[in-house]
Every structure is written in C-alpha cells, then in structure tokens.
Amino acid sequence: MRKVIKMFLSLVLVIGLAFMFSSTALADDIDDTGGTDGGGSGTNIYTFYYKYNSSDDAIELTVKCKNPINSFGNSTSHTFSSESDDTYIPSSNPQLGSSLESAISSMNSHGGYDLDVSDVKEKLNELGYYDGGNGIWRRSGGYLTYIDAKKIRPTKHTVHYDANGGTGAPADQTKKQDVTLTLRTKKPTRTGWTFKYWIASIGGRYKPGGAYTHDQDGGVVTMKAHWKDEDAPSLSEFYAIPNYWSAGNGTVGFTVQDEGSGIVYIELERYSYVTRSWSTVRTWSYSGKKSAISKTYTETNEGVFKYRLTVEDKEGNTTTRTSDTIYLDHSNPVLYGMETTNTEWTNIAPVINVRATDYLYGTTYTGSDLAGIEIISDTGRCVADGTHNAMYTLQPRDEGIHTWTIRATDNVGHTTTTYITTKYDITKPGVDGTEITFVLPDGTYVSGYCQDNIIDQHIDDETWRSVNNPNVSSGLKSVALYRITGSNREAIWTDRTRASFGYSNTHSFYDVYYEIQRSERTASYYEIIVTDFAGNITRKKLTSQYSLLTWFHTSIDRSSYN
C-alpha cells in the first residue's frame, strides 16, 4: 500500500513539474483568467500568423492559442476578416508564427504587386502601427489585426493607349502614386492623317513623352489618339492628251485618293487659248470617299486647251494640278482666190493664184496649219504647190477646156477641194480658099489673088489647126468681108459674106462666097476678118483680077478665062 501511494505521489510531481516548465517558457497569462475558458490562469499560449487573402486583397491576422477562450467562441483560433472585427485578444505578449514580411511576399506574388517591405512598413507607421520588436505589429489600444491592401500600398492605375483608327499604339504603362510618369514617345500612325496629341479619358491633352501626374486607385486611363487630316488628297495620275494636233477628240483622265477624311469635291476646269478664259466643265461630289477615284472626260470641242483639277477633302485640304496642253483641230482649211482666175474663153494665159488658211472654226486662231496646197491638172499631174499659196500660169500645152483641182490639206489630214475650169485658146481660126499667090513683073508677090474674081473661102476653128492638140477650141464668133478702097473700108453685107455665132462651138464653120463685080475694079483689095470666142483674130487679104488689070491697064476681063 505504501508502495502504491509513493508511486502516485511521484506521478503527480512529474506532471506538476512538466506543467510548470511549459507555462514558464511559453505562457502569456496577461488577462488570462482561466476558469471557464479552460485555459487556466497564466497557462495559455497565443501565436500570431500574418497572411495575405487575395480574395479580400488584405493582410489578415490569425491568432491561435493553446487553450480555447471565450472571446474566440470557446475556440483555439480566430481570423480577423474585416476592420470592424473587434474580437478581444487576451494576451499582451504573443509569439510570432508567420511574419508580416511573408504576408507581403505573398501579396506581391499572388496579388500582382511589386511592394517593397520597407515601403509597407512606412505606410503602417503612417497609420499608427509599429513593430513591437518581435515582429508583432501593434498600435495604441491593440494589435494589427486586418489591413486593406489599399492602405499599405501606393495607389496605381493603368495608362492605356488607343490608336483610334490608327496602328502602332504604344504599350500600356503603370502609373504609381506620387511618381510622375513619362508617357511613351512612340506615336501611332494612320494613313492620310497626322497624329496631334493624346486625349485622356479623365480629360486633358497629353503629348508623347510628356509628364503624367494624375493618381487614382486602380482602373484604366485611356489615352486616345487625336488625329487631324492635314494631308492634301493624293493625285497619282492626271493627264490630258493628245499633246499634239489631232483631228480626233481629247481625253482627260485622273486618279485621286484621300485616305484621311475622304474626298468631298472634285472640279475640272478648262482653259481655252482661243478665248483666253477658264470655264468649269465637270464636277463630282462625294461624302468623304476614301477609296481611289478614277474618272475620264472626253473633249469633243475643237481648240487648244489645258485643264486644272482641284480635289478637296472633308477637312478642307485641297490639291490642284494643271495638265499639259491638248490640240484639237476639227475644221477644214479654207481656200481663197479662185474667183481671180479667168474662166471664160481667152487667148491670154489664165493664172490660177490661190491661197488657204486653217483657222479653227469661227475664229482667226490657226489650227494645225496647212501642210500644203496643190494645183492638179485633169490628167492628175501636180503643176504647182506651196504651203500657204500656189500659183500656176497656163502653158500652150494647156489649150482647150481643162478642169484644175485645187486641194488644201492641213497637218491633221483635213482637206478642202475645189475646182477651176479654164478655157484657153491661142490658135487663130483658119481661112482656106482657092486664091493663089501672084508674082508681079517687078518680083512682088501678091498673095490671095482671086484670078477668077470669086472669093470662095472656108472658115473654121477646128482643134487640128493648133500645134498643141487641144481637146476643144473656142469656135467661131464672127466673120466679116470688107472691101478696101484706098483708105476706105466698106463692109460687104450679104448672107454669104458676114456671120456671127451666138455661142462657142468648136465645130462651127462658115463659107464666104462673093463674086467681085466689074464695078469694083477700083477696089484695092478685100479683107476677111474672123474672130473666135477666145479673141483670136485672123485677117486675110484677097486681090481681084480687076485690080490687077487696073494696075496694068489691060483689057483682059473675066471672059478671057472662059
């Protein structure tokens, strides 16, 4: 029995010593009343754990104790999940289980922060907290139990760049509280536009590389690019052809584009070198078209023109360009001088003297000008030519009636053709008869001796009488027989001695027949005068037998020949 009692007392002593040593090494019995909390006075142990809660974005304190306590709901652990949690911690000397530094590290890794421990501690100091020396953070009246991340980190927000229709926006930036941010210097680009500045979603204009000082807690400030169309529309093609004299139409073409605000108006003007004035020939309107625009215009008027194209975009920027000159000649040359050529029968060589101009219609403005004038015979031979005038005097070979082609040609191939018909006769009519040539005793020749005292003559104007082989002769116009006595000329009026013809006829003819009477023996001679329609005159003198007998005082009369 004594032995059993002795063993029981020894066991109690061991348990008592063990409990004494445990509470002495770890005990924090301040405010520990024991009793109903099951802890016993001076026997409970409190351990602090600082942890980061990413869901709440806060650092929370979890307190664990050896023995349950009433303020923890008769539990050995309590986590402070809000600033309003005022659960009582009955300890003034807790121990550290997980440090504030480890909570900050977790905050950086899980919360996306880049916090410096010293900065956080400085913030806590500003909030009235301090390190009690063993890693337990306190403040007047209690411990650090819950702190929202917003209170211990500098505020920051994202600066986002919006190219606003352009490309190449800079990468986002992070703005930290109280730290001036230098905006990125990179500028976006946009075809047809000029970047001017950034407009912030919070208001204000910012230039690339400028200082940005605005602070806010989280969120995004968007920098939207502000563009201005300062570029004039492009004019990749503008032409007017042909740039030489042409008989056809002209073509004006262009291709324009404005990838900025877009094209709203196009005007095509024409300058006439003839009238020396501008006029609008076409306009086109759009509501800010940005795709390429190609147009053509056909010039159907003749003249010398250049064109001016004006293109305007929606912002009022304009492009103006002037084309090369085109030359359009639609008019034929005009011939002059044909009326000066004698087109009636004549024995004076007609002169064809013509000239031409190549004015544009209704003006005195020279078009493509003359390539030449030709005078062409009816056999197709060019007898004369020139650039602006040509002249030809008919030659003996041109006897007869001939039609001459007068042709003027300009430098684009337009021709004007007219015709002149000439009637040229330089061959005298023929008078053929039975007279002979008589030789007087003194050797004098007496031509046209009518030895039988009869004047019998055939008269015509046939073409064979000409050595030039004309196609037509002018024909007889008049025939007259005259008696010449001394200085006296007397017409013999009979239907066989006188004739006139009312119109030209190559084959007209007349036979003069006249019997010389004895009473006419005093006549010196007889003369036949023949004219043709060209003015050629043939004169033929005839001598009678009576005249010879009178001259030589003989008695020979006509009966002696019978």
3-state SS string for 75-132: EEEEECCCCCCCCCCCCCCCEEEECHHHHHHHHHHHHCCCCCHHHHHHHHHHCCCEEC
Here the tokens at position 403 are 């039609």
* 312 phi and psi angles, rounded to 5 deg: -125, 135
411 neighbors 442 (Cβ within 8 angstroms): no
Phi-psi region of 558 (alpha: psi -120 to 50; beta: other; left: phi over 0): alpha
Question: What is the pLDDT at residue 556?
Answer: 39
Distance CA 158, CA 218 (A): 7
- For residue 528, give the CATH number of its domain: 2.60.40.1930
Q: Do residues 261 and 216 both lie within one domain?
A: no
What single-letter amino acid sits at 57? D
Question: What is the pLDDT at residue 111?
Answer: 81
Q: Do residues 183 and 255 both lie within one domain?
A: no
How far is the CA of 254 from the CAs of 201, 231, 453, in angstroms?
43, 19, 100
Q: Do residues 264 and 244 both lie within one domain?
A: yes
180 neighbors 211 (Cβ within 8 angstroms): yes
Q: pLDDT tens digits for 240-286?
A: 999 999 999 999 999 999 999 999 999 999 999 999 999 999 999 99
Distance CA 448, CA 445 (A): 10
* pTM for the full predicted model: 0.64
Q: Do residues 202 and 245 both lie within one domain?
A: no
Here the tokens at position 393 are 């005097």
At which of 206, 228, 250 does a domain end? 228
Q: Do residues 319 and 364 both lie within one domain?
A: no
Q: Which residues, in sequence order, are bridge partners of residue 1?
A: none
Judge whether 79 lies within some domain.
yes
At which of 297, 328, 359 does a domain end? 328
Question: What is the pLDDT at residue 522?
Answer: 85
Judge whether 6 lies within some domain.
no
Distance CA 323, CA 335 (A): 35
At which of 295, 328, 361 does a domain end? 328
Report which of 433, 419, 429 is spatially closest to residue 473, judged by C-alpha positions.
429
Q: Do residues 517 and 493 both lie within one domain?
A: yes
Burial class (CB in 10 A: 0-12, 13-18, 19+), 240: buried
How far from each other are the two terminal CA atoms of the chain, in whole angstroms?
A: 235
Judge whether 4 lies within some domain.
no
Helix (H) or strand (E) holding 547: helix 545-552
Distance CA 223, CA 209 (A): 13
Question: What is the pLDDT at residue 5?
Answer: 44
Distance CA 219, CA 370 (A): 84
* 528 phi and psi angles, rounded to 5 deg: -100, 125
Given the structure tokens 């044909």, which residue do they identify?
Answer: 338
Q: How many folded domains does the chain comprise? A: 5
Phi-psi region of 469 (alpha: psi -120 to 50; beta: other; left: phi over 0): left
Distance CA 95, CA 535 (A): 158
Question: What is the pLDDT at residue 155?
Answer: 82
Q: Do residues 448 and 531 both lie within one domain?
A: yes
Question: What is the pLDDT at residue 448?
Answer: 81
Domain that includes residue 162, residue range: 156-228
Question: What is the pLDDT at residue 552?
Answer: 47
Q: Which residues of the chain have pLDDT under 70?
A: 1-42, 438-440, 443-447, 547-562
Q: Which residues, in sequence order, are bridge partners of residue 356?
A: 335
Report which of 512, 341, 346, 527 is spatially closest to residue 448, judged by C-alpha positions.
527
Q: Do residues 440 and 456 both lie within one domain?
A: yes
Judge whether 11 lies within some domain.
no
Judge whether 167 lies within some domain.
yes
Judge whether 12 lies within some domain.
no
Question: What is the pLDDT at residue 550?
Answer: 57
> In angstroms, how far is CA 260 from the centroid of its own chain?
20
Judge whether 10 lies within some domain.
no
Q: Do residues 385 and 278 both lie within one domain?
A: no
Question: What is the pLDDT at residue 445?
Answer: 60
Q: Do residues 175 and 147 both lie within one domain?
A: no
Burial class (CB in 10 A: 0-12, 13-18, 19+), 132: middle
Here the tokens at position 535 are 């003015």
Q: Do residues 515 and 547 both lie within one domain?
A: yes
What single-letter amino acid sits at 382? C
Q: Do residues 324 and 386 both lie within one domain?
A: no
200 neighbors 222 (Cβ within 8 angstroms): yes
Judge whether 209 lies within some domain.
yes
